[in-house]
């Protein structure tokens, strides 16, 4: 006789492990394959665009020491080789994506399951709670191995077709870096899952740490003489691993120490915390803001203001940081073919403006995430049934959605102003005299792609509420991927057109594309109109 089974075909003792493995392996294989495809696409595009040694050397001279691109995308040694270029082009993207995956997998396995109440039956007593947490994490660990393996296998299988491809050890190293990134942030997710009260909070804390890690390594690489800071950032450790160019195994030490410490703390936390609660106590008594809560508008403000404020602060700091290093970075660009290289990246001016133009892509992605995030928040309100209470009384659902979209519009407008101010202030402090008009124009130029994505997200929300959020975030990722991989011209124009960021000018390096911006804004407004109309006619649906 076998152990009791619970419909999953798994022995009940290892049930949590089995469920966790199943989830993690499926998504790990998918994401890993995607990471492999990104790597291969980058290597192939390099061979297509820079077929000759002369071109490659020109590229290396222009970018090998450009602190701005290095700060944004990571170090760029050996740009005259496939491995070097690929490392520059995708290393950081890969580690950020793998980190996000690890974070998501850990918080999902630990808090997602717990929130559904499915664990309540398994969690009788503290001993069981530690065992359950350990099993869930073991499942995630298997998923991480699958993620890294899938990335390495896809890369190895497809890279052979290219002439100067990557060596087997390099591909293995790439898998190792993915493994390290995912492990580091899965360990973080395990800990935040114990500290915070819900999966949403645990992931948010994790993403904030990731953003700080990115900023730390940005400063470390910005040529300000602060390179030691790289050791203070988990993303910095992965960067130091440098699997494709100059592998440094020392960086394995902080990764291992961090992982062991965080997982141990997480297990300890699982033992002492209450199910459904977090270790960080929060104030459960509040003042009554009676004057404020007078309707859906006031509620929207009450629920969203702190989040939007955090976005604003984050974007202002980010833009300020970029503005601070831009002038210095521009002075490190050398070589006669710089203009050509910038042309390929979409920027046609030199100096500080060129650097700001290159950086605008990252800011545009963040602003788009903010826009899509507003639709995601609206969907979450609906899915949890909160909207029912308003619609069942005298609040029109259309009015509610318009308030939400209005909040998104205010958030975006605020970004435009703050980003412009931050860039202007930061560049002026460094003695780069750029006209404020130019900089505000560039800040405004970040908004049309975000508005277009907001429109698409709203249509999806009106038509397919359950799919809207993942698909919309997917679109942002897709758009970014397309410009990263195809930005140098190695991708079909038709595919390029599907990326909103491709249509955005690299302002202030070049003038905003007035027509493209108008089209994106129109798309956004049409999408919002269509989405609101569809929303007015459909059922409210739960999770």
Site for another protein in 396-415 (CB under 8 A): 396-397
Q: Binding to another protein by residue 466, rule CB under 8 A?
A: no
Q: Binding to another protein by residue 197, rule CB under 8 A?
A: yes
SS3 5: strand
Least distance in angstroms from the C-beta of 284 to another protein: 4
Binding mask 293-332 for another protein (x = CB under 8 A): xxxx-xx--xx-----------------------------
Please say which residue, 230 or 387, places its beta carbon nearer to another protein. Answer: 387
Binding mask 16-55 for another protein (x = CB under 8 A): ----------------------------------------
Please say which residue, 250 or 536, places its beta carbon nearer to another protein. Answer: 536
DSSP code, position 249: G
Rounded to 5 degrees, what are φ and ψ at 165?
-50, -170
Q: Binding to another protein by residue 533, rule CB under 8 A?
A: no
Please say which residue, 167 or 302, places its beta carbon nearer to another protein. Answer: 302
Structure tokens at 26: 């499926």
**Nearest-CA neighbor of 289 among 278, 280, 301, 279?**
301
CA 78, CA 91: separation in Å to the nearest integer?
Answer: 14
**Nearest-CA neighbor of 397 among 383, 408, 387?**
387
Contact between 148 and 25 under an 8 Å Cβ cutoff? The reply is: no
Q: Binding to another protein by residue 537, rule CB under 8 A?
A: yes
Please say which residue, 466 or 538, places its beta carbon nearer to another protein. Answer: 538
Q: Binding to another protein by residue 274, rule CB under 8 A?
A: no
Least distance in angstroms from the C-beta of 286 to another protein: 4
- Residue 57 CB burial class (10 angstroms; 0-12, 13-18, ≥19): middle
Contact between 505 and 346 under an 8 Å Cβ cutoff? The reply is: yes
Contact between 349 and 430 under an 8 Å Cβ cutoff? The reply is: no
CA 493, CA 501: separation in Å to the nearest integer?
Answer: 13
Site for another protein in 334-393 (CB under 8 A): 384-386, 388-393
Rg of the chain over Cα atoms, rounded to whole angstroms, equals 24
**Size, binding site for another protein by CB under 8 A:** 34
Q: Binding to another protein by residue 284, rule CB under 8 A?
A: yes
Q: Binding to another protein by residue 120, rule CB under 8 A?
A: no
Please say which residue, 276 or 314, places its beta carbon nearer to another protein. Answer: 276
Residue 11 bridge partners (DSSP): 5
Please say which residue, 468 or 506, places its beta carbon nearer to another protein. Answer: 468
Contact between 209 and 284 under an 8 Å Cβ cutoff? The reply is: no
Q: Binding to another protein by residue 281, rule CB under 8 A?
A: no
DSSP code, position 111: I
Please say which residue, 127 or 287, places its beta carbon nearer to another protein. Answer: 287
**Nearest-CA neighbor of 512 among 329, 347, 362, 355?**
347
* Binder of another protein out of 4, 7, 228, 289 (CB under 8 A): 289
Please say which residue, 167 or 384, places its beta carbon nearer to another protein. Answer: 384
Q: Binding to another protein by residue 539, rule CB under 8 A?
A: yes
Structure tokens at 152: 């390495």
Binding residues for another protein, per CB under 8 A? 197, 283-290, 293-296, 298-299, 302-303, 384-386, 388-397, 537-540
């Amino acid at each position: 006789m076998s152990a009791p089974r619970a419909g999953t075909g798994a022995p009940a003792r290892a049930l949590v492990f089995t469920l966790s493995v199943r989830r993690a392996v499926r998504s790990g294989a998918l994401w890993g394959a995607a990471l492999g495809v990104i790597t291969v696409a980058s290597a192939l595009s390099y061979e297509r665009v820079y077929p000759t040694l002369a071109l490659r050397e020109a590229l290396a001279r222009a970018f090998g020491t450009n602190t701005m691109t290095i700060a944004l995308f990571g170090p760029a040694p050996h740009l005259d080789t496939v491995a070097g270029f690929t490392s520059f082009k995708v290393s950081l993207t890969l580690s950020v994506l793998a980190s996000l995956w690890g974070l998501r997998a850990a918080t999902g396995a630990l808090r997602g399951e717990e929130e559904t109440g499915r664990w309540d039956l398994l969690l009788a007593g503290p001993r069981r709670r530690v065992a359950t947490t350990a099993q869930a994490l073991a499942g995630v660990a298997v998923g991480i191995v699958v993620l890294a393996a899938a990335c390495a296998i896809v890369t190895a299988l497809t890279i052979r077709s290219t002439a100067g491809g990557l060596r087997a050890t390099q591909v293995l190293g790439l898998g190792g870096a993915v493994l390290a990134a995912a492990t580091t942030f899965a360990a973080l997710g395990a800990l935040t899952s114990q500290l915070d009260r819900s999966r949403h909070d645990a992931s948010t804390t994790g993403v904030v740490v990731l953003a700080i890690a990115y900023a730390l390594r940005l400063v470390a690489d910005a040529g300000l003489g602060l390179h030691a800071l790289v050791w203070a950032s988990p993303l910095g450790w992965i960067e130091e691993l440098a699997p494709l160019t100059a592998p440094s195994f020392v960086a394995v030490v902080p990764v291992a120490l961090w992982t062991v410490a965080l997982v141990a703390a997480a297990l300890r936390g699982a033992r002492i915390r209450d199910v459904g609660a977090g270790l960080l106590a929060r104030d459960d008594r509040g003042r009554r803001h009676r004057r404020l809560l007078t309707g859906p508008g006031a509620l929207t403000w009450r629920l969203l203001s702190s989040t939007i404020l955090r976005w604003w602060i984050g974007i202002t700091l980010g833009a300020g940081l970029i503005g601070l290093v831009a002038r210095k970075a521009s002075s490190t660009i050398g070589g006669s073919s710089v203009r050509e290289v910038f042309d390929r990246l979409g920027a046609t001016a030199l100096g500080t403006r060129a650097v700001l133009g290159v950086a605008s892509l990252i800011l545009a992605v963040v602003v788009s995430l903010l826009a899509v995030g507003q639709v995601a928040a609206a969907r979450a309100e609906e899915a949890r049934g909160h909207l029912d209470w308003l619609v069942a009384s005298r609040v029109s659902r259309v009015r509610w959605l318009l308030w939400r979209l209005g909040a998104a519009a205010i958030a975006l407008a605020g970004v435009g102003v703050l980003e412009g101010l931050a860039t202007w202030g930061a560049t002026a402090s460094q003695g780069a005299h750029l006209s404020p008009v130019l900089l505000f124009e560039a800040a405004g130029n970040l908004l049309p792609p975000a508005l277009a994505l907001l429109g698409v997200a709203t249509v999806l929300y009106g038509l397919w509420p359950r799919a809207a959020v993942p698909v919309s975030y997917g679109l942002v990722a897709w758009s970014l991927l397309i410009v990263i991989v195809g930005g140098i011209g190695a991708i079909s124009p038709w595919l390029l057109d599907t990326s909103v960021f491709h249509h955005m000018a690299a302002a202030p390096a070049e003038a905003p594309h007035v027509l493209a911006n108008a089209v994106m804004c129109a798309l956004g407004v049409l999408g919002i109109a269509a989405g609101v109309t569809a929303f007015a006619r459909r059922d409210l649906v739960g999770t």
